[in-house]
Amino acid sequence: MASTAAYHFAASLLRLGRKAGNLAKVREDLGRVVRLMADERLVTFFLMHPLVPAARKREFLELVSESEVVMRLMKILVETKNLAILGEVYSQFSAMAGKDLGVVKAVATTAGGLSGEEEARLRQALAELTGAQVDLTVRTDPGLVAGIRVRIGDKVIDNTLRRELKAVKERLVSS
C-alpha cells in the first residue's frame, strides 16, 4: 500500500508536470533517476549520508536530473530525509501520469521470458486491444509451464497451460 507521503509527492509532481507542459519528460526523467538509484547503491548512500554537504548533493542532483521539476522533488526528498520513498513516489506518479498521457500499464507473465521480437509483438497487440500506448513489464514464473498471462489494470488474459489443464479438469469432473 502506498504511503500518504508518496501519494502527495506524486500528486504535486503531476500538477507541476502538467503546469510545465512536459509530463512525459518528467515521467521519463524520474524513471531514469529511480533506475540509477536502484542500480547504483552508492548514489543512494551519497545522497542519504549526513556528512555529505547539502551543496554537493544539489550539484549531483543537477547532473543526474534533466527536468527542473524532478530536480526540485529530489532536493526536497533529500532535505526532508524521505529519499527512501522515491520508488513509491515514482510508482504513484507513473500511474497518474499514464492516465493523462494515454498509457496503460500491463504485466505479462510467462514461463520462460520473451525475446525482444516477441515482446514488441505483444506490446503492439496490446496497444491495438486497448487503443493506448502500453507500458509493458515482463516477468517469468516457471510454474506456468507454458503460455502467457497478461494483466492490464483489473483485467486478466490467461492463456496458460495451467488454466487450460484446470478447465479440462473441471469439464471432466462435471461430466
Both 90 and 136 in one domain: the answer is no
Question: Do 152 and 94 belong together in one domain?
Answer: no
Give the whole-angstrom CA distance, residue 66 versus residue 29.
Answer: 6
Domain range for 16 is: 4-99
Whether 18 and 88 map to the same domain: the answer is yes
Query: pTM higher than 0.75, yes or no?
Result: no
Query: Residues 6 or more apart from 29 whose CB is under 8 A from it?
Result: 65, 66, 67, 70
**Axis-axis angle for helices 86-101, 68-79 (nearest 10):** 150
Tell me the CA distances in angstroms from 38 to 128, 130, 172, one per residue in order. 32, 31, 49
In tens, the pLDDT along 136-145 reads: 788 888 777 7
pLDDT at 59: 84
Find the mean pLDDT for residues 102-110.
80
On whether both 155 and 82 belong to a single domain, the answer is: no
Partners of residue 107 on adjacent β-strands: 137, 151
Rounded to 10 degrees, the C-alpha dihedral 113/115/121/125 comes to 10
CATH number of the domain that residue 134 is part of = 3.40.30
CB 141 within 8 A of CB 110: yes
> Across residues 24-35, what is the average pLDDT?
84
Q: Are residues 94 and 27 in the same domain?
A: yes
